[in-house]
Structure 1
Amino acid sequence: MDAPHRSFVPMAVPNSGPELTRRNLLAKGTWVLAGTALHLPSYLFSEPQQTPSVSAPIGRVMQSLSTYMASAATRPLPPAIIEQAKDHILDTFAAMISGSQLPPGRAAIAFAESYSGKPVASVATSNILCGPLEAALANGVLAHSDETDDSHSPSQSHPGCAVIPAALAAGEQFSISGHHFLRAVTLGYDIGPRFGVTLGGVDYQTETHRDPHATSEGFGAAAAAGCAAALDARQMRFLLDYAAQQSSGFTAWQRDTLHFEKAFVFAGMPARNGVASALLVQAGWSGVDDVFSGPESFFAAYAPHANPQGLVDGLGERYEITRTNIKKWCVGSPIQAPLDAAQLLLNQHSFTPNQLRRVTVRVATREASIVDNRTLPDICLQHLVAVMLVERTLTFRSAHDTALMKDPAILRQRAKVTLLGDEELEKRLPAREATVEILLNDGTVLTQHVDAVRGTAENPMSREEVIAKSRDLIEPVLGAASSKLLISAVLQLEQLTDIHHLSRLLRTY
């Protein structure tokens, strides 16, 4: 039986006299709010009305950029660009897989497992299926768990470690084809590095203490994910707006000696933010039509003197993936040229470690400070040069073997290695050149200068070299058979009708 209807009668609040207590004040406030609610206008309780976004004239740069981005999903790519994209995809997958064995990579997999979300997207070297945001973050961190992934010197960015995880996560969300995936990846490489160059590259980082890696890679990841989501031109403008709002990162990451924060800033964060931008806009969110122009714009906040025209210069003619370096050696970029030089000397001359009296390595002054006697083996120049001179080569395993840092034979040679910052080489940045000079016990001086590191655009690695590097990284984790299947699938991406066929090869069961 229903309770009888009663009229509302407010409860009397006791008066405590001139001095009110906290309890009495709360009681009075509650009943005032309750009484007021009875008289609030009904429209406050109705469904919110959608208001259109505030429109403003769209600048020529944004118009060109968004139109180009929107057509990327269906625009054919030149055959040579497709082949280069495959090399970078394979190289990044290899970095993700090898990164799973390092502390940041293991932490990324544990994170994805704890916050798995909807089972849509894959996390490399695991059996985890999770939401696209978690997958993008985890795979990004895996790809930059150390110094194995590719890099774009003019922009001071590492495109692959953010762009490819973002394209993969969004691609799995929307079940895109292999062709579509290649186009999304190539677009990400085209857009992200252009931001780094336009902002000012090395000078921008020095002047602002902001990190161009995170900003460039965030826009690149957003472009790749937006292409996977097949956004139209206006949606691409909103995508860039949300990518701009999420742009972040500053150089404090250098204080984290274990590479966790660097992996997050360079890869995990921008990959996740790029996918988030695409998913928000694809779900119907509105935004600002041109975040790059006007007094309250991205450039007004980040680089008032930059020329936004750089974002579209050469677009469709100059593919930035052709200016992106694949590392021959799985070590910090400033150590690439010294290792090349040391190996060239070993190949050209006959000498043993015991014949060495002194080894002098010259790199740009700024670069020297990054790799000078670091505690991690893969970013310690003196240690890695010593390993090269003793073992006559360097593998992923030897570059990351912390036990070698205490090996007596390595330590004897490391004591002979002197690192010098060179102001002349500093002037040539972002080109990373190096000179290695070896003095033998008999007084012989051997010198080798490297101005085009193997794997750079000026001295590219062959397809066979990229495959050999990838096998070295993949086989110890997934095994020879799985490695062969993954490499074959990447090299035949155009034949895949669904990207899930590729992503399954990254996982373990």
Structure 2
Amino acid sequence: MGTTADIAQFVQKTTFDEFDPELVHHVKNVFLSGVGMTLAGVDSETSKAILSYVKECAAPQEVGVIGANFRTSVEYAALANGTTSHTTELEDDTRAENMYSVGVFPAMFALGEKLNVSGRELIEAFVIAWDVASKLAIASQDMMARGLAPWSAGSTIGVAAGAAKLLKLNDEQIGMAVSIAASHAAGLFKQVGSGAHLYESGMAGRNGLASALLAKHGLTGQPAVLECPMGYLHAVAGIANPDLRLGAPFRAQDIEIKKYPCCLSQMHPIDAFVRLIEERGLSAHQVKAVRLEAPPSFQLAAALYHHPKNGDEAKFSLAHSIASSFLDKKPWLDRYTTEGANGLDVAAFRDKIEIVYRAELAGQALPITVTLNDGSQVNSMTRKITEHIDVSDDEILDKYRKCVSGIFSASRGDQISESLLSLEQIPDISELMKNLTFIN
């Protein structure tokens, strides 16, 4: 047996009945969060470009584009929804392997609608896709040192596996789907902070679906291209034939739900500032200077920009998030737009912020020092930056409601959330997808 054959067997044998109630509950929360962020992202600049492109392609009207009031082919819907959901940077992640929800769930929703699958089948396919994507990404983390993106590359192959499950492909076809997906898998770390970074998640979903559909139609690939010398894993990470240990414990259980619309590594620092501001009753006009000590790795993404020029850069500007915390008490989507990034108040406050990099802080709690105008100082610490983000069911529901506020009436928003949170009881997701597509 090799890696590709192991994936094929895993896809074939894994069923919803193997999932414990906690896993199913968590996946439904991930879907609720995901639907909210997709709807909230429809009007972003990047989404408008993608949606315009998809409309121009005039593909067959097979499935809905969430929040966009039109239908397109299943592959273009995956492309559109995968990109639109990512534009908010609210996507939910697993930290160790740098995997993101927006590379997987939009494609599963699109194909699920086309095939009229049940909620149970949708959850089943997502868990399978996530496990393949995540465990491949864990095995190949060295690819990041080469400038490659495990999140989009892993998602492509994972989506191919999940789609193969929904399409009920046989072992050989699943192997071909995975092999074809390996040729599609792509993404570059250095696209962070640009529209292309957001597009890569949509690309992963589209390419993963295409791989499974092509395998169904008889296209072939090398049957061991993942694990063989000079194959995919050897090319991207210098490894061959890893033991992925697919199955329980399923990695979908470890997906972390983001609270704020920015880079995952910013979550604990923002939480620390939000808590400090609330507990001490601090206001922006009281503050003379802010100092945060952080590991050098933050400069790669979390603090890539100090003075961002647009919304895409703002999501990777820790200084911007800290400033927004002082100005707004809790940063939200309106601060991560081009207008929000260039506001005079937030730009002036960013000038007060200093981020000092210390190598010994890798994986540690980060020191915070706030100097007030009277010369006094307030000190605090973040949680360890590698600790799991803890978010309650109520907080996830609140995140969803904030995302859809102004898009749906409260009653319609609640109807959709109730459907998503009882998804395993729905025999056909088509009506749910119709409600998510046509918002006017």
Per the normalisation by structure 1, the TM-score is 0.80
1:166 aligns with 2:97: no
Corresponding residue number in structure 2 for 1:285 = 219
Corresponding residue number in structure 1 for 2:138 = 197
Deviations 1:323-346, CA, capped at 9 Å, x for gaps: 221111112223222211111111
Cα gap change, 1:481 to 1:114, in 2 (>3 Å): farther
**Contact 1:140 1:264 (C-alpha < 8 Å) held by counterparts:** yes
Q: What one-letter code is carried by the residue in structure 2 that aligns with 1:124?
A: I
**Cα offset for 1:181?**
0.3
Deviations 1:357-416, CA, capped at 9 Å, x for gaps: 2111222212135323122333332232122112222222234372463234x3443322
1:422 aligns with 2:358: yes
Q: How does 1:366-385 map to 2 (within 5 A)?
A: 366-370=297-301, 371=303, 372-373=305-306, 374-376=308-310, 377-385=314-322
- Hey, what's the Cα distance between the residues in 1 that align with 2:148 and 2:389? 30
1:507 aligns with 2:437: yes
Q: How does 1:447-462 map to 2 (within 5 A)?
A: 447-452=379-384, 458-462=388-392
Corresponding residue number in structure 1 for 2:231 = 297
1:260 aligns with 2:195: yes
Q: What one-letter code is carried by the residue in structure 2 that aligns with 1:242?
A: I
Cα gap change, 1:404 to 1:305, in 2 (>3 Å): closer
RCO (CA 8 Å, sep 6+): is it higher in 1 or 2? 2
**Cα offset for 1:209?**
1.9
Cα gap change, 1:110 to 1:481, in 2 (>3 Å): farther
1:396 aligns with 2:333: yes
Q: What one-letter code is carried by the residue in structure 1 that aligns with 2:215?
A: V
**Contact 2:277 2:283 (C-alpha < 8 Å) held by counterparts:** no
Matched residue of 1:451: which SS? Answer: coil
**Cα offset for 1:244?**
0.9
Matched residue of 2:406: which SS? Answer: helix
Q: Greater CA deviation, 103-112 or 181-190? A: 103-112
Cα gap change, 1:481 to 1:151, in 2 (>3 Å): same
- Hey, what's the Cα distance between the residues in 1 that align with 2:3 and 2:341? 52
1:308 aligns with 2:251: no
Q: Which of the residues 231, 245, 253 maps onto 1:322?
A: 253
**Cα offset for 1:307?**
5.4
Question: Unpaired segments of 5 or more residues in structure 1?
Answer: 1-58
- Hey, what's the Cα distance between the residues in 2 that align with 1:468 and 1:385? 22
Q: How does 1:229-268 map to 2 (within 5 A)?
A: 229-254=167-192, 259-265=194-200, 267-268=201-202
- Hey, what's the Cα distance between the residues in 2 that align with 1:148 and 1:326? 8
Cα gap change, 1:382 to 1:61, in 2 (>3 Å): closer
- Hey, what's the Cα distance between the residues in 2 that align with 1:81 and 1:179? 12
Matched residue of 1:166: which SS? Answer: helix
Q: How does 1:110-129 map to 2 (within 5 A)?
A: 110-129=52-71
**Contact 1:132 1:170 (C-alpha < 8 Å) held by counterparts:** yes
Per the normalisation by structure 2, the TM-score is 0.92
Cα gap change, 1:97 to 1:435, in 2 (>3 Å): farther
**Identity, % of aligned pairs?**
21
Deviations 1:455-484, CA, capped at 9 Å, x for gaps: x87342111100101111112223323321
- Hey, what's the Cα distance between the residues in 1 that align with 2:256 and 2:83? 19
Matched residue of 2:222: which SS? Answer: coil
1:336 aligns with 2:267: yes
Corresponding residue number in structure 2 for 1:46 = none
Cα gap change, 1:195 to 1:452, in 2 (>3 Å): same
Q: What one-letter code is carried by the residue in structure 2 that aligns with 1:445?
A: Q
**Cα offset for 1:75?**
4.4
- Hey, what's the Cα distance between the residues in 2 that align with 1:505 and 1:244? 34
